[in-house]
Structure 1
């Protein structure tokens, strides 16, 4: 989705839209609003990593690491 939105608009807009969407998806599955806002920021970071590396795989690895950290900290079960 990031690359399609980027092709149709601009890089900045694509990062913002996908980041908000990422946060909203987490809100929809039961995360709190405050945590979903932080997740939106993380989504922006994932988008920037994807654009910088031209690959989604580093973002996937980063997402896994963050999720593991959230499990160990008790934020998610």
Structure 2
């Protein structure tokens, strides 16, 4: 998979997440962002939310939202709070 395909998968995932948890900002980082990805690379996404009280709980919810199409997504939630 190339960077453009990773971005498409990430965007679909962020759109889905945004329906349940309003996303302030999302950013691709890691190997796909740097162009050093390989066959086993995951798609690291920093996802910034407003006022998240329990970031671990949000992480679990984000992981559970992944579908078969986006299992390579590794969401990393952050809060502006």
- Relative to the length of structure 2, the TM-score reads 0.38
Larger radius of gyration: 1
More strand by proportion, 1 or 2? 2
- Relative to the length of structure 1, the TM-score reads 0.40
Higher relative contact order (CA 8 A, sep 6+): 2
